[in-house]
Amino acid sequence: MTTVPLTAPPGDETADPGEAVPAEPAAEPAPPVGILELSERVVASVLTRFPWIFRASEILLAVCTLVCLVAVGTRLSALPLTPIPLFVVAWLFLRRLRAAETRARQLRWSVLTALAAMVGFWLISVMGRWLSVS
């Protein structure tokens, strides 16, 4: 029966501990990363793990635009048209995000897309509040 010394790497089944291959030195720890690098990694990993997120975002923007158009007909006012340019800008940013190749550009376009969509959602709520008062 042969024994494997604890210092032997996996697969090294030498019987004599003196013949064992020395273990490799531990690699230096990775340098600490900042919030920007961490954000870029998170966005890149989300975009690669969930490729359907682009289509879902386009559908969401289209539904919100459709809601605004329906609100124009039901409220008989042009005020609900206000968020539509922001949804169009968010869609354009989403197209740029899909074409982005580097992590930095992916982060930039995803933040701009989210910001434009959030301001559009906020405008929908403001328009709803203004139209419900009048």
Residue 126 — pLDDT band, cuts 50, 70, 90?
confident
Entry pTM: 0.70
DSSP-derived letter for residue 78 is: S
For 40-62, what is each residue's pLDDT tens digit?
Answer: 999 999 999 999 999 999 999 99
- CA distances (Å), 118 to each of 1, 35, 75, 121, in order? 68, 22, 23, 5
Q: What is the pLDDT of residue 18?
A: 62
For 70-93, what is each residue's pLDDT tens digit?
Answer: 988 888 888 888 999 999 999 999
For 9-36, what is each residue's pLDDT tens digit?
Answer: 566 555 565 665 566 666 777 776 788 9
